[in-house]
Amino acid sequence: MHRASLFLDALEDSLGSAMIRGRKPNLGRLHQMERLRAQGLTLTEIARQLSVPRATVYNALNRRCAVRPVAICRHCQTPILGTEKSPSRCVVFCRECLNKLPTLSFGQRLASLRIMAGLTQDALAQATCVSRGRISQLEHDGNKPRARTSEVLIEFLERTLSKGKMLEAIDK
Which pLDDT score, from 0 to 100, does residue 90 have? Answer: 65
pLDDT in tens, 60-104: 887 754 444 567 788 887 777 655 555 455 678 888 888 898 888
State residue 83's pLDDT score.
55
User: What one-letter code names the amino acid at 81?
Assistant: L
Angle made by CA atoms 142, 146, 150, in degrees to the nearest 5: 85
Higher pLDDT, 8 or 35: 35
Can you tell me the mean pLDDT for 21-43? 81
The one-letter amino acid code at 132 reads R
pTM reported for the whole predicted model: 0.55
Q: What is the pLDDT of residue 47?
A: 92
Give the model's pLDDT for residue 35. Answer: 87
Q: How far is CA 146 from CA 3, 108, 131, 151, in A?
A: 71, 16, 14, 9
Q: Is 13 exposed, middle or buried (0-12, 13-18, 19+ CB in 10 A)?
A: exposed
pLDDT of residue 75: 81
